[in-house]
Amino acid sequence: MIKDTLLNAEVYYGLSEGIEKGLEWLLVTDFGSIPDGRYVIDGNKVYANVQSYETKLDALYEAHRDYIDIQYMISGVEKIGVVNYEKCEVVEEYDKENDIEFLKPKRAEEFLLLQKEGILILYPHDAHKPSIAIENPQQVRKAVVKVHI
């Protein structure tokens, strides 16, 4: 897991070509002029989902096997729980078509704040619980870039 701001995106270009493409897309996209939806960056290898939603009080953890997440907060703030996949138990079995499984942690949770212009790069071993309200639910807008491993 890597937590930073988009201002430092170039530091992470060397991690992979897909991560570089995803971060570059985030840097050049005018989020004020595009609607929510799916955006193809490099076929099925790199794409983005832009979404607006209300944060919630709780959720299950999720994990992905085929894709790295680059989560970028366009507006608003949310908490994201992060725990090592090995420290979780499966609640809903892996869905290969949607590359997702749902989990609950077997140990104490850690939460990070994802604020405007913040990025969080999550690998398959990073089980995560996004979209959690700080105190009360609020509207946020976020882009999640999916980078195939």
**Full domain range(s) for residue 45:** 2-148
Based on the structure, what is the number of domains in the chain?
1
Q: What is the CATH number of the domain that holds 114?
A: 2.60.120.370
Predicted structure pTM score: 0.95
pLDDT in tens, 9-48: 999 999 999 999 999 999 999 999 999 999 999 999 999 9
Q: What's the confidence (pLDDT) of residue 80?
A: 98
Q: Whose CA is closest to 131, among 62, 82, 80, 91? A: 80
